[in-house]
Amino acid sequence: MPGLLSGSAAVGRSGVKLRLACHAGGKAAFSAATLGPSASASTRYKCSRGRATASFALTPGVLGSIKRSGSVLGRVTFTGGGAKAAASVMVGPRPPAPVFWTSVFGLQCGAPGSLQAVLQAPNFTVTPPTTIDVRPWLAWYTPATGWQWQGTAGPGASRWYRFTATPSGVAEWRTPAGTIEPWLWSPISVASGRGVYVVAVFEAVYWYSHPAYVWRFAHANPGVGPFGGMCAYG
C-alpha cells in the first residue's frame, strides 16, 4: 500500500495535494473530522516510477475553515487490490514547525552500525500532579514505502499506558534509591539495506477537570551531542 511522503501539506486554491510513495495506482479518500462531513473528498491516483499525487477537491467553505484554524488533522484512506491503509496528515496554510518533548529521554538510535533502537518515554512533569495516559508511536520512512506508523500493538496500532505525572516526574518510575527507571520500548529492530529513517512521537492526555491532549516528537539520541529529530539506518 502507498505511504505519504510528508506528514503535512499546504492547502491550495481548490483543495489539497498529497505526494505519495507507491507501487500501483488506487483510490484515496480524505476527511477532516473536526470540520464535519463536508470536509471530505475522494480521488483516484496513478503511480509512476514509485511516486503519485493524490488531489482532493474541497469546497471554498472548508478551505476557509482550514486557513482560519491554522491547521487541522486530516485522515487519508487508501484502497487498492482488496487492501486498505490509512495515514494522518496535518493540513494548513503552511506546514507547522515540529514540537519536541524537552526531556532528556527519547529515541536511542544505537551504536554506529547497529540495527536496533530503544525508545524511552519522556519524564512527564506537571503541577499539580495528575493522572496521564501516554501512547507511543514510531513513524518510519523508506524511499519505497513513504512514511508508515508503527505502534506497540503493531502497524498503525499502539496501546495507551497510564502514569502519574508530578512536579518531579512520573511517580511510578522513581526507585527507592531515588533513580528513575523510565518506560522503555525495546528492542526496536530495523531491516538493513533499505535506507530507513525513524521518528518517535508520544501522545499524552492530562486528566484535570477535563482531558487535555497533546502530542510531540521525541528527540533522537538525546544527551549525545546536539539533539536530532530522527535515526537513520542504511
Q: Which domains does the chain have, with CATH numbers?
A: 3-92 (2.60.40.10), 107-233 (2.60.40)
Note if the pTM is more than 0.95: no
pLDDT of residue 96: 66
- Asked if 171 and 195 touch (Cβ cutoff 8 Å), the reply is no
- Could you give the CA distance from residue 66 to residue 92 in angstroms, rounded to a whole number? 6
Going by C-alpha positions, the residue among 51, 35, 52, 34 that lies closest to residue 43 is 52
Blockwise average pLDDT, block size 10, the chain, 234 residues: 85 92 91 90 92 94 90 89 84 79 86 84 93 94 84 92 95 92 93 89 91 90 62 86
Which burial class, exposed, middle or buried, applies to 37 when counting CB atoms under 10 A from its CB (0-12, 13-18, 19+)? exposed
Going by C-alpha positions, the residue among 127, 147, 128 that lies closest to residue 138 is 147
- Asked if 59 and 35 touch (Cβ cutoff 8 Å), the reply is no
Going by C-alpha positions, the residue among 222, 207, 225 that lies closest to residue 100 is 222
pLDDT of residue 181: 94
Which burial class, exposed, middle or buried, applies to 137 when counting CB atoms under 10 A from its CB (0-12, 13-18, 19+)? buried
pLDDT of residue 57: 95
pLDDT of residue 226: 46
- Could you give the CA distance from residue 133 to residue 204 in angstroms, rounded to a whole number? 6
